Amino acid sequence: MKTADAIDRAKAEGRRAFIGYLPACYPDLATSVEAAVQLAENGADIIEIGAPYSDPVMDGPVIQQATTEALGNGFRIAELFEVVRQVTERTEAAVVVMIYYNLIDRMGAEEFARSLAEAGGAGAITPDLIPDEAADWMAATEKYGLDRIFLAAPTSSPERLHRIAADSRGFVYGVSLMGVTGKRAAVSDAAERVVEGTKAAGAERVCVGLGVSTREHVEEIGRYADGVIVGSALVAALRDGGPEAVGTLTAELTGRSS
């Protein structure tokens, strides 16, 4: 399933899409797959599988700790595709990867895109890549029919937002604040402005992440965004309680447990 289809399906059901992030192979490959399955079974429409990376500039301490552990256990990029394959086979969610572009570039954009498509992946979020520098990636994603998801931030100019909106496929990832991922007491009021600006620039779908950790956050963002992205809170649940805790928290965040 493509991310646009997942978002539109949720909209047709009268709700906003729920997007959950988990790192590949944390604490190991099998457990990360089970946690992702719990995400889908408890209401996630789109699942982000993060590629552990040694210099995760956008990630806060919870995700950094998890990805550092996965790297210490010998994570290899081939395992990312295996996680995507297994999660895609076992769920109806759209599955994308969250990956820093250096890892794609090291493998080669076309080879990475081919491998991701063969694994059943819908596309990739590339937090450190801007459209101006994405010619190879854009060509590869077009060839293999993958979504390419760029980020829009509170500091993005109108001109930048137009470029992001034009070159993204699936949805635009709206960053709710400047900084790194992690739980916060409140969602930045910049999030709504990011969505409004990106929509005005031509984006059909904008989903918001960074700092989302409660049902109240989900409901607040759902008033203006097409989807809500949760990461650190889910990774902390996996760390503390395993896949079952991920399922329990997902059900709370999506309103399925109420």
Q: How many CB atoms lie within 10 A of CB 41?
A: 17
Q: How far apart are CA 128 and CA 168, in angstroms?
A: 14
φ, ψ of residue 147 to 5 degrees: the values are -70, 140
Dist CA 98 CA 130 (whole Å): 14
Residues 28, 34, 45, 59: which is the catalytic one? Answer: 59
Say if CB 163 and CB 135 are below 8 A apart: no
Catalytic residue among 8, 28, 34, 48: 48
Are the beta carbons of 177 and 190 closer than 8 angstroms?
yes
45 flagged as catalytic:
no
Active-site residue, 240 included: no
Q: Among all residues, which ones are annotated catalytic?
A: 48, 59
